[in-house]
Structure 1
């Protein structure tokens, strides 16, 4: 009988080992499943981040392109339709000085805002093209000025204020100023 007890004892030992082996295999399979799920979620997150990075790169290129386009449009010429305050015109030469100073200040501020992250040492000139005779006539008819000389004094004051500023008489024709602006 002693033999049977040994076999039974050995059998119980083998049975315990088998149960431990099965438990280890089950635990390993659960761990593999958990890792697979985690890997799936990480891959999904990674793919979402890749898409986000691509979107940012695409938008960045688009904005960079727009910025370059804006710089090209602004360089070397910018056209602005300016209407001077009547009080500047009425003040003759002093008004010309004041208008030129105010225009320079505003252009400087505009350039600083436009190139916030860059040096704002952008060279520029201010040129005003006008049919001076026609403009003087219009100002007289609207009773803004009483004589043509007031506008001529304004133009002189504007031109004398700063080397950056030129008030140019483009001539009498209907399209003279447009031709000067287009450079044709």
Structure 2
């Protein structure tokens, strides 16, 4: 057997979940998500004079993002921005139940919390979005099976109105700060 010298080390190779333990991600509320292109490659467009000009792939991302509420009617889209190598977006999950406070989500759920289909979770929405974009992009670039997105995604539960406004400002002004991004591709503004 060929020995590469790379042994499994559970401390080094274990993928730690960045999700809030015990939280029901199908729970009504607002969520800020960031999804990055594989290896942070700038495939979605470029920033010119503080404005994002989408590439063909970026246009696919935009169409699929805007299509989300058609597939999942419990989801509303709030602010979003497609950057050259990632997308930031605010998803709002609405519950058709009689009670609920917008953007005031509990830190934990209880056993009495109504169970929802896994297809209504933030993770399921992101997986579906990523899969749809990857399929379309791979057809365009004739590369079936090639990765388009980084594994996983970043998410933040928006717990109150002030946090919502702060994140909206961050999303809206993101293109103007592109040169400060740690994965900035050296594009000229």
Bucket of the pairwise TM-score, normalised by the shorter protein: under 0.3
Greater C-alpha radius of gyration: 1
- Higher RCO structure, 1 or 2 (CA under 8 Å, sep 6+): 2
Higher strand proportion: 2
Higher helix proportion: 1
